[in-house]
Amino acid sequence: MSATSRPATPGPARRTGGRSAAVLAAVRSAVEDLVSERGIAQVTIPMVAERAGVNPTSIYRRWGDAASMINDLATYRIAPDRPLPDTGDLRADLTGWAQELVEHFRQPAAAALLRGGAAAAGDGDSDCLRNRRAEATMLLDRAGSGLPVDEVIDHVIAPVVYRVLFRPWTLDDDLAARLVDRLFAGR
């Protein structure tokens, strides 16, 4: 049989996600652990690599530096592709969405990552703000609301982020409902 007439041999099976997904999960977990243990200012890429059991070049290749890594991971737990509340009532959906954010940022590691992500964003929007703006837009569009996205950001998201940064003890169970009530007051 000639080389041109040989039947094709199947190659190795492709894994979706594969090693890249496993590395990313290990890095995310290592960053959260290190932030909880040492604080965000003490987290370096070599530390993360050692904790995650990966080569530092894998981390540098993906993020370039610690600030970019922190900015990207700041929103990991609140994945942009997760299902958003969909009750058919915009007020209830916004309240559920805001409550999810409050609960997320009560976690010390999530709050520390948000602080670091905001600092790493510099003059531009952080990944967190871009993702929350996209989510607010989806909620408003789905409801057919004429409410401006910036009003949702200013009246709901900004007060949550302010509390995460400066007054974390005020992230109480009623905060989301109060903020959404104020958004709708007088409408």
Local confidence pLDDT in tens for the 187 residues of the chain: 444 444 444 444 444 455 677 888 888 888 888 877 877 778 899 999 999 999 999 999 988 888 778 777 766 556 656 788 999 999 999 999 999 999 988 887 778 777 766 666 666 666 667 788 889 999 999 999 989 999 999 999 999 989 988 999 999 999 999 999 999 996 7
What's the token pair of residue 69? 């890594």
pTM of the model: 0.69
Angle between helices 127-143 and 90-105 (to 10 degrees): 160
Q: Rounded CA gap, 171 and 174, in Å?
A: 8
